């Protein structure tokens, strides 16, 4: 549900940050397009992804700051998004992922994963931690995992089942539309953060040109197993919480 006041106000509020983000994503998209000789449709896909992000950001952005005053943490997350969106457009291109392209994907995704800790650190340091910022960060992480899982499949090393590595978060949310207990907010978890990091690292390992299909399959299966375990722990916790609530 979109919150806050008029959308125009929130768009004005974040206009300077979105403009800088547009310059960043355009530069990266142009570099990617030029390096790998991609079709012009690549730009259209990047632009569409950027517009979707802008709509979601403006729709959910809380009001209260002056024009251009996104928090430092949210700016860091927005910067990470400008790395992830060009990769998402690359994932749906009808092209063969070459070794050079795989190394490029690994480099860009690694920067995005390393910067994942920066936005949280900035939020804690500046005292600007918000529900919006945490959700923005979490959804971007989930989207990056989905993109990487598609790229692993597109690499030809692992079957289409590799996409399952990027789907659990979305399946969990969709299941919450049916089972209300899954809509309860989960407490912070170091396990969940560690699994997310492991998931990203294993997906990058799968993409490595020096990794054989057999090793990539083992890495992908490990990522899926660890992820399934983590979600199972959360679902069991939610089920027990509902059972306890009914008992009381």
- What SS3 class is residue 189? coil
Name the helix (H) or strand (E) containing 57. helix 41-60
Q: What is the mean pLDDT of residues 29-35?
A: 93
Q: CA angle, corner 204, sides to 125 and 197, nearest 5? A: 35
- Spatial contact of 223 and 202, defined as CB atoms under 8 Å apart: yes
Confidence of residue 66 (pLDDT cuts 50, 70, 90): very low
Q: What is the number of alpha carbons within 13 Å of residue 44 lying toward its C-beta?
A: 5
Q: pLDDT tens for residues 164-197?
A: 999 999 999 899 898 888 888 888 888 888 999 9
Q: pLDDT tens for residues 41-60?
A: 999 999 999 999 998 888 77
* CA gap 223, 199 in Å, rounded: 5
Q: And the tokens for 93?
A: 């291109």
In a domain, 170, yes or no: yes
Q: What is the mean pLDDT of residues 11-23?
A: 80
State in Å, rounded, how far the first CA of the chain is from the last one: 31
Q: Is the pLDDT of residue 2 over 80?
A: no
In a domain, 2, yes or no: no
Domain range enclosing 145: 7-247
Q: pLDDT tens for residues 134-166?
A: 888 899 999 999 999 999 999 999 999 999 999
pLDDT of residue 85: 96
Q: Is the pLDDT of residue 5 over 60?
A: no
In a domain, 169, yes or no: yes
* Angle, in degrees to the nearest 10, between helices 131-154 and 190-207: 30
On average, the pLDDT of the chain sits at 86
CATH code, domain with 216: 1.20.120
In a domain, 209, yes or no: yes
Q: Write the burial class of residue 139 (CB in 10 Å: 0-12 exposed, 13-18 middle, 19+ buried).
A: middle
Confidence of residue 223 (pLDDT cuts 50, 70, 90): very high
* CA gap 61, 13 in Å, rounded: 9
pTM: 0.89
Q: What DSSP string describes 97-151?
A: --HHHHHHHHHHHHHHHHTHHHHHHHHHHHT---HHHHHHHHHHHHHHHHHHHHH
In a domain, 1, yes or no: no
In a domain, 82, yes or no: yes
Among left, alpha and beta (phi > 0; psi -120 to 50; other), residue 103 is alpha
pLDDT of residue 113: 92
pLDDT of residue 244: 63
* CA gap 49, 75 in Å, rounded: 18
Q: Into how many domains does the chain fold?
A: 1
- Spatial contact of 226 and 199, defined as CB atoms under 8 Å apart: yes
- Spatial contact of 76 and 115, defined as CB atoms under 8 Å apart: yes
Q: Which residue do the tokens 């690499």 mark?
A: 155
* CA gap 72, 103 in Å, rounded: 30
* CA gap 164, 179 in Å, rounded: 21
pLDDT of residue 68: 43
């Amino acid at each position: 549900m979109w919150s806050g006041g008029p959308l125009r106000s929130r768009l004005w509020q974040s206009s300077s940050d979105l403009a800088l983000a547009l310059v960043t994503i355009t530069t990266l998209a142009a570099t990617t397009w030029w390096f790998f000789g991609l079709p012009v449709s690549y730009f259209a896909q990047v632009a569409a992804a950027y517009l979707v992000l802008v709509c979601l950001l403006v729709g959910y952005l809380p009001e209260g700051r002056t024009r251009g005053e996104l928090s430092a943490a949210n700016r860091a997350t927005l910067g990470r998004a400008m790395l992830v969106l060009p990769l998402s457009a690359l994932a749906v291109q009808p092209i063969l992922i070459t070794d050079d392209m795989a190394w490029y994907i690994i480099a860009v995704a690694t920067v995005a994963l390393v910067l994942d800790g920066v936005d949280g650190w900035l939020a804690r340091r500046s005292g600007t931690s918000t529900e919006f910022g945490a959700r923005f960060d979490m959804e971007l992480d989930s989207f990056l995992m989905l993109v990487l899982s598609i790229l692993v499949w597109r690499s030809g090393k692992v079957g289409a089942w590799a996409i399952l590595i990027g789907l659990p978060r979305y399946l969990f949310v969709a299941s919450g539309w049916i089972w209300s207990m899954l809509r309860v907010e989960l407490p912070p978890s170091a396990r969940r953060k560690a699994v997310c990091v492991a998931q990203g690292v294993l997906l990058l390992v799968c993409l490595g040109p020096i990794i054989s299909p057999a090793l990539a399959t083992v890495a992908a299966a490990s990522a899926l197993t660890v992820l399934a375990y983590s979600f199972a722990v959360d679902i069991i916790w939610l089920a027990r919480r509902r059972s306890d609530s009914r008992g009381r």
